[in-house]
Structure 1
Amino acid sequence: MAHSDKTLDLITLGRSSVDLYGQQSGGRLEDTASFAKYVGGSPTNTAVGGARLGLRTGLVTRVGTDHMGRFLKEQLEREGVDTRGVVFDPDRLTALVILGLRDRENFPLIFYRENCADMALTRDDLDRAWIQSAGAVLINGTHLSQPNVYAASVAAATWAREAGGKVLFDIDYRPVLWGLTGRDMGENRFVADPAVTERLQQVLPLCDLIVGTEEEIHILGGSTDTIAALRAIRARSDALLVCKRGALGCAAFEGAIPDRLDDGISGRSFRIEVFNVLGAGDAFMAGFARGWLRGETIADCCTFGNACGAIVVSRHGCAPAMPSWTELEAFLARDAYPLRLRDDTALEQIHWATTRRRAYPSLTVIAVDHRSQFEELAEELGVDTERVGRFKGFALAALDRVAQGDPGFGLLVDGRYGFDTLAAAADHPYWIGRPIERPKSRPLAFEGSADVATELAEWPVDHVVKCLVFYHPDDTQEMRDRQERQLLRLFDACRKTRHELLVEVIVPPDMPVDAMTVARAIRRLYAIGIHPDWWKLEPVDDPAAWRNIEAAIAENDPLCRGVVLLGLSTPMPQLIASFDAAAAVGVVKGFAVGRTIFYDVAREWMRGAISDADAVDALAERFSLLVEAWRKARAGVGKTA
C-alpha cells in the first residue's frame, strides 16, 4: 500500500511529551519516590514504534525550547525518526506526563499540558511538500480538541490525500484533555460527550484507517453499544475500522458491520500478564501500520498489532518498550511464551540489542580510567593527586582534536579523578565509558555503593559501564563463583538502569594461555547469562585465538556490538604490529588504549617538564598514530579480500 515514489512511509502528527514513569509499582502515585524519563505522547510513540519496525517515519509537533524538548528531538533522531517537522517553541514548555503503576488495572496519569508546546501547533508549522512526501499521515483525537491543532490535523490529512497518500486516525480519547474530568483523573478513558463526538466525526470523510479501543469507538460513534457505534462510524466513512479488544486482540471491518465483534477480521491474539497497559495502543498502531502500509493481509496486520501491544504491556514505559522488527519476528516465530513475558531472557536480549542508542561500525577510544597507576605516579613524583584530574581533562582535549566530532571515537575515564572530564565530555558526541571495578581487585569488587545498582542509578544513561575482571576459565571453583556472582549482579544492574556494559577480560599473568583460553572464558560468561554490549580483550598474534573468540561471540550473541583491544602498556610499535592480526577479525571494532598513549606524557607533565599545551599535543599525536595505524590495518584487510 506504500507508494514507491514516497520518501517516507508515515508521518504522525500531534502530542509529544516527556513521560516520567514511576519506578515503584503496586502502590499509590503519592508514594512513588523515583521516576524514569522516556519519550511520550501517542503519535510520538507510534513514530518510534514504526521506525523500530522498519517504517520510514516522521513527526510533526511542537516542543519547548528547553532541556526536555531537546531530549525529545535527540532521542527521536537516535530512533531514526525524521524530525524536520519538530518545531521549537520559545514561549511554551514541553508537555510532561507523570505515570504510575498502581495495580494491574489502574495506571494513574497526571498530564502537565497547560499551554504546552504541542497544543500550540498551527497549520503554518506544516511543510506541505514534506507532508506529501509520505505514503501516509496519522492524526489523533487529542489534536482535534482545539481550533489551531484541529486545523493543522485537517490540513495534513487533506494534503496527504491530494498527493495519493493514506490517512490513519488514532481516536486517542483522553477525557481529561477535553476538560471533561478533574486533573487527577487522567487515567479515565471514557466520558460521553456529544460535542466531542461531533468534533471527532468531522474528520471521518478524510480517513482510510480508523483505530480505537471499544471506549474510543463509543465516543467516535456516539453510542455505548459498540456495534451501534461502529455502524454510526461506517455511515460516515468507508475506512477500514479496527476495534482493539485488549487480551482478545482486535476486530477489523472492511465493509458492513456484522452483528458481533467476533465476526470481524482478526489475527492471532496473545495472553500476556499485564504489567503496564500504557503505550500498548500506540504499539498496536505501529504494528498494524507496519503491515498495512506494506500491503500485508488485514489478518496479518491484526497479528502484528496484537503482538506489539502484548509485548509492550509486559514492560515499563511506552516508547522504550516498543519492539524492533527483529524482535517481533522472533516473538511471532514461537508458539509458547511465558505469561510474564518480561522474564523471557532471550526476547529481552533481542529487544535490548536491537534498540540501543547508536550503531558503531568502528570505535577508537583513549582510555584514562586508570586510578591506582596515577596514584602511584603522583606518589612517586611527590605531587598532589589534584593534578591527576587536570591531566585527564587533557585527554578529552586531545580526543576532540583527533576526532573532530566523529561519534566513532570515545573516552574511557573514571569518576574518582575524572569527574570534571566526564561532565565536560557530555557536551561532545563521543562514546563515554566509565569503570565500576575496584582497581586490581581479584576477586572482583566494585567501587562506590555496596549495591552496584544504586551506584549506577547515579550515572548518566549514556555512560557505558566498564568492568575489568582478571578471569580464567580454569580458576578455582571458589574464585570463579565469587567473580561470576559479581558479574551477574552487575549485568542485572546495567539492564535495570539502562546502561550498556563493557566487560574487559584479562587473563591473570601467572596462569597458562592457549588459543582457546579467552574464547572459553567468553563462552562461560555467556552460559551463565551475561551478554555484554562490548568486550575489551588483549591483542593476540595467534589467528586461531581470534577465530575462536569470534566464534564464541557469534554463536552466543550475534547482536554484540563487538570487541575493542586493550593496550596493557604495550610499546607503541608492538601494539601497532598486533593490529594486523586483529584487523582481519570482523568482530573487532577498534581499540581502547591508555598507558601506551598517556603514561610517559603524564610523567613529564606531572613533574613540570612540559606545559599543558605540550601535554595535549603529545597525547593527540600518540592517539592519532594509533588511529591511523588501525585504519591502515583495516584498509589492508579490505585490499587483501
Structure 2
Amino acid sequence: MAHDAKSLDLITVGRSSVDLYGQQTGGRLEDMASFAKYLGGSPTNTAAGGARLGLKTGLLTRVGSDHMGRFIREQLVREGVDVAGVLSDPDRLTALVILGIRDRVNFPLIFYRENCADMALQPSDVDEAWIARAGAVLINGTHLSQPNVYETSLKAARAVKAAGGRVIFDIDYRPVLWGLTGKDAGENRFVENPDVTAKLQEVVTLCDLIVGTEEEIHILGGSTDTVTALRAIRTGAPNALLVCKRGADGCVAFPGAIPSSLDEGVSARGFKVEVFNVLGAGDAFMAGFLRGWLRGEPVETCCEWGNACGAIVVSRHGCAPAMPTWVELEAFLSDRERPFRLREDLEFEHIHWATTRDRVYDELTVLAVDHRSQFLDLVEETGGDPERIPHFKTLALRAVETVAGGDDRFGVLLDGRFGFEALAQAADHDYWIGRPIELPKSRPLIFESAPDVATELVEWPLNHVVKCLVFYHPDDESDLRERQERQLLRLFDACRKTRHELLLEVILPAGLDSDSGTVARAVRRLYAIGLKPDWWKLEPMADPAAWAEVSAAVEENDPLCRGVVLLGLSAPEAELLASFEVAARFPIIKGFAVGRTIFYDVARDWLANRIDDEAAVAALAGKLRVLVEAWRRARAAVEKAA
C-alpha cells in the first residue's frame, strides 16, 4: 500500500495511564493535598499530541474496564485519536502515576503499574489489518521490559514494515520499570545496565527513526559517552535517523555517519523558556518532530517543531493537557516576542485554551432551568411545596432528552441548589451543561457560593460550563462598574485555573438609556479589561445593526470565541421567534438558552397540581421543540439565500 493511501499517519504502542498531578508545587510529594487528573503514558501522550498537531493517530494499548480506563478512552476520542486499538482488560486495573513538581530539577513520581492493564498486552492484541493502515508505528523502551509486551511491540513493528510503513523507536528509559531502582525513585532517568542495553538493541534493526535523551542514548548504545553510544546504535541501525534530545539545548539529528562532535549533527534553533515542569517534554518533542517527519519536512524543520513543542510543555502543568495544537505551534513560531515565563503570555495561553476545548458547536439549543428566585416566586404564588422544585428540574432534563434523543447540540442550564439531582443525571448524557455562579438579581455582582469563587469551582465537574449573569451597562457609574468588573475578572481567572468554560450573560439594567450599539459597547469594554469568555449569552435584538456591531466586537477581540446564544427574558413565544429571524443572519449566534418562555407556565400548573409529571414533560418538550425547529428554519433560510 502506498504511503499516501494510509488512513492513519501513526499508531503508538504501549503505556497508557492516568496521571495524578500534585496541584501544589515547591514541596515534597508527601505534602501535596490535591491532584489533577490527566491522560498519561508516553505513547498515549504522543498520540494525543500528534492529533493536536493535525496528524491522524491511533493507539494500541490496554486499559482497565474501570472508571480510569473509560476516562482514557473518552479523552482520546476528544483528542481525535483512533481508539480501535484501545482494548479493555476486565482482569486488571488501569495504570496510575502520581507526580509532583518540587523544584526545577526534581519531579517526584510513583508508578502504580503492578499487574496493570497496559503491561498485559499480548501479540494476539495486534490487529495487523489495522496496523497496515498506518504510515508508521511507534514502539517504546518500557514495553520491551517484559516478554509479552516485547513480543507485542515487535509484532506491531513487523506488521507495519510488511505493509510498507516505518518504525519509530522512543527509547523511553525508566529504570524503575526495569526493576533497577526502588519504587520511590521513579524520577531516576539513568541506571547503567548491560542486560537492558542488550534487550533494547534487539529492536534497532527494525527502526527508521530512533529518538532519546542523552541518557537514553547511553543505555541504548551501552556507553556513557554520547558519541560512542551513537556510533554503537548506528552499527545496528545503519539507515535510521538518530535524534538526540538535549533539553534546553534543543536536539541534534544524525541522518548518516556519526561525527566526532554532537555539534556537527543537524540541528535547529532552541527556545529559552522558564522550566516549570519537564515531565512530558519528551513526548511533546516527539509529537512535534513527527508532525514534520511523517509529512516529509526537512530534518531541520522537524527539529525546530520538536524543540518548540518541548519548550511549550515545560512551561506548563501536566503532560498531555499541555501539548500544543497546530494553531498554537504556528503562533509560537511567529516572530512575536514572548516572555521567558511563557505561561504568563495571556494571548498565547488563550490560544492554547481555545484550541483544545472539547467539541465545536455550530449550533447550541439550551433549556435554561437554572432559575432559583423565580421558582420560589412560583411556590409562593401557587402555595406549592418548595421541596418539589428539584423534581421538576429532573423533568426538564427528561424533556430535553425527549426532543434531543442524544443529539449533543442540545444543552441544559441547571443550578446546584434546586437542580443538583438533575445535574447528576445529566452526567450520563452528552448534552452541554451550564451552571450558574451568581447570586440571583445581585447588582453589583455577588457570587452565590463563596467570596473566593475558585474554591467553589474546584468542586464542579469539568464539563460544567460556568454561567454568570451580570446586569451591566458600559455607562454605569464608575464605582459600580469597577466593582462588577473586578468580580468578573476574578471569576474568569478562576475558570481558567480550574479548567472550566465560562458563559457570560449580559443584561442591560432596566431604566438606563441604550441604543443599537450599547450591547456591543458592553462587550468591547469587557474584552478591553481582559475577559475572554468562551460563550456570550445576550438579549434578543430586533435591529440587525445591533447584531452586526456585536459580531464585529467578538471577531475583533476573540475570533476563537465559541459564539453567542440568545436569552429569552421571559419574552412571549411569538416575539422570541421573530427575533430568531434577525439573529439567524449572523454566524456568531449559535442558538439560544431560553428558560421562562418554556417552563414558567408549565411549572406553575405542575406546582399547583393541575398537571402531572408526564404532562409537564410533554408540555416542556413541546415548547422546546417549537423553538428548536424555528431556529433551524431561520438558519436554513439564511443559508439557502446565501
Counterparts of 1:58 and 1:345 in 2: how far apart (Å)?
A: 32
What's the counterpart of residue 149 of structure 1?
149
Tell me the amino acid that sits aligned with residue 602 of structure 2. Answer: V
Alignment of 1:59-74 (within 5 A): 59-74=59-74
Q: Deviations over 1:403-444 (max 9, x none)?
A: 000111000010000000000000011000000000000000
Tell me the amino acid that sits aligned with residue 232 of structure 1. Answer: A
Alignment of 1:241-320 (within 5 A): 241-320=242-321
Q: Deviations over 1:198-224 (max 9, x none)?
A: 000000011000000000000000000
Q: Deviations over 1:421-472 (max 9, x none)?
A: 0000000110000000000000000011221000000000000000000011
2:3 is paired with a residue whose SS is coil
Deviation at residue 383 of structure 1 after TM alignment:
2.1
What's the counterpart of residue 109 of structure 2?
109
Q: Deviations over 1:161-210 (max 9, x none)?
A: 11111111100000000000000000000000001000000000110000
Asked if the contact 1:62–1:120 (Cα under 8 Å) also holds between the matched residues in 2, the reply is: yes
What's the counterpart of residue 332 of structure 2?
331
Asked if the contact 1:433–1:466 (Cα under 8 Å) also holds between the matched residues in 2, the reply is: yes
What's the counterpart of residue 640 of structure 2?
639
Asked if the contact 2:2–2:164 (Cα under 8 Å) also holds between the matched residues in 1, the reply is: no
Deviation at residue 21 of structure 1 after TM alignment:
0.1
Counterparts of 1:512 and 1:586 in 2: how far apart (Å)?
A: 28
- Aligned CA distance change for structure 1 residues 113 and 2 (closer, same or farther; 3 Å): farther
What's the counterpart of residue 591 of structure 2?
590
Alignment of 1:379-528 (within 5 A): 379-528=380-529
Counterparts of 2:438 and 2:415 in 1: how far apart (Å)?
A: 10
Counterparts of 2:249 and 2:529 in 1: how far apart (Å)?
A: 37
Tell me if 1:205 matches 2:205. Answer: yes
Counterparts of 1:170 and 1:528 in 2: how far apart (Å)?
A: 45
2:70 is paired with a residue whose SS is helix
What's the counterpart of residue 239 of structure 1?
240
Deviation at residue 350 of structure 1 after TM alignment:
0.2
- Aligned CA distance change for structure 1 residues 588 and 335 (closer, same or farther; 3 Å): closer
Counterparts of 1:39 and 1:24 in 2: how far apart (Å)?
A: 19
Q: Deviations over 1:512-566 (max 9, x none)?
A: 1212111111111111111000000001010100100000000110010000000
Give structure 1 stretches of 5+ with no counterpart.
Answer: none
Deviation at residue 359 of structure 1 after TM alignment:
1.2
Tell me the amino acid that sits aligned with residue 218 of structure 1. Answer: H
Counterparts of 1:2 and 1:74 in 2: how far apart (Å)?
A: 31
1:466 is paired with a residue whose SS is strand
2:368 is paired with a residue whose SS is strand
What's the counterpart of residue 604 of structure 1?
605
Deviation at residue 357 of structure 1 after TM alignment:
1.3
Asked if the contact 1:457–1:497 (Cα under 8 Å) also holds between the matched residues in 2, the reply is: yes
What's the counterpart of residue 569 of structure 1?
570
1:84 is paired with a residue whose SS is coil
Deviation at residue 126 of structure 1 after TM alignment:
1.2
Counterparts of 1:569 and 1:335 in 2: how far apart (Å)?
A: 47
- Aligned CA distance change for structure 1 residues 599 and 335 (closer, same or farther; 3 Å): closer
Counterparts of 1:260 and 1:335 in 2: how far apart (Å)?
A: 33
2:229 is paired with a residue whose SS is helix
What's the counterpart of residue 19 of structure 1?
19
Tell me if 1:554 matches 2:573. Answer: no
2:305 is paired with a residue whose SS is helix
Tell me if 1:82 matches 2:82. Answer: yes
Deviation at residue 273 of structure 1 after TM alignment:
0.5
Counterparts of 1:560 and 1:498 in 2: how far apart (Å)?
A: 16
Q: Deviations over 1:69-120 (max 9, x none)?
A: 0000000000000000000000000000000001000000100000000000
Give the share of equivalent positions with the same residue, in percent: 72
Asked if the contact 1:2–1:294 (Cα under 8 Å) also holds between the matched residues in 2, the reply is: no
Counterparts of 1:9 and 1:517 in 2: how far apart (Å)?
A: 50
Counterparts of 2:357 and 2:264 in 1: how far apart (Å)?
A: 41
Alignment of 1:28-47 (within 5 A): 28-47=28-47
Tell me the amino acid that sits aligned with residue 42 of structure 1. Answer: S
Tell me if 1:158 matches 2:158. Answer: yes
Counterparts of 1:449 and 1:22 in 2: how far apart (Å)?
A: 24
Deviation at residue 600 of structure 1 after TM alignment:
0.2
Q: Deviations over 1:250-284 (max 9, x none)?
A: 00000011111111111110001000000000000
Counterparts of 2:365 and 2:68 in 1: how far apart (Å)?
A: 31
- Aligned CA distance change for structure 1 residues 508 and 335 (closer, same or farther; 3 Å): closer
Tell me if 1:581 matches 2:579. Answer: no
Tell me if 1:119 matches 2:114. Answer: no
Counterparts of 2:558 and 2:296 in 1: how far apart (Å)?
A: 32
Asked if the contact 1:52–1:323 (Cα under 8 Å) also holds between the matched residues in 2, the reply is: yes
Aligned-CA RMSD value: 0.9
Tell me the matched-pair count: 641
Counterparts of 2:387 and 2:591 in 1: how far apart (Å)?
A: 31
Q: Deviations over 1:298-326 (max 9, x none)?
A: 00100000000000000000000000000
Tell me the amino acid that sits aligned with residue 436 of structure 1. Answer: I
Deviation at residue 2 of structure 1 after TM alignment:
9.0
Counterparts of 1:268 and 1:332 in 2: how far apart (Å)?
A: 11
What's the counterpart of residue 195 of structure 2?
195
Counterparts of 1:198 and 1:637 in 2: how far apart (Å)?
A: 67
Give TM-score, length-normalised by structure 1.
Answer: 0.99
Alignment of 1:343-362 (within 5 A): 343-362=344-363
Tell me the amino acid that sits aligned with residue 199 of structure 1. Answer: K
Tell me the amino acid that sits aligned with residue 501 of structure 2. Answer: E
Q: Deviations over 1:28-82 (max 9, x none)?
A: 0000000000000000000000000000000000000000000000000000000
- Aligned CA distance change for structure 1 residues 2 and 344 (closer, same or farther; 3 Å): farther
Counterparts of 1:427 and 1:204 in 2: how far apart (Å)?
A: 46
Tell me the amino acid that sits aligned with residue 165 of structure 1. Answer: G
1:467 is paired with a residue whose SS is strand
Counterparts of 1:402 and 1:528 in 2: how far apart (Å)?
A: 40
Give structure 2 stretches of 5+ with no counterpart.
Answer: none
Give TM-score, length-normalised by structure 2.
Answer: 0.99
Runs of 4+ in 1 over 4 A off after TM superposition: none
Counterparts of 2:520 and 2:123 in 1: how far apart (Å)?
A: 59
Tell me the amino acid that sits aligned with residue 34 of structure 2. Answer: S
Asked if the contact 1:2–1:295 (Cα under 8 Å) also holds between the matched residues in 2, the reply is: no
Asked if the contact 2:313–2:323 (Cα under 8 Å) also holds between the matched residues in 1, the reply is: yes
Asked if the contact 1:2–1:293 (Cα under 8 Å) also holds between the matched residues in 2, the reply is: no
Counterparts of 1:510 and 1:282 in 2: how far apart (Å)?
A: 57
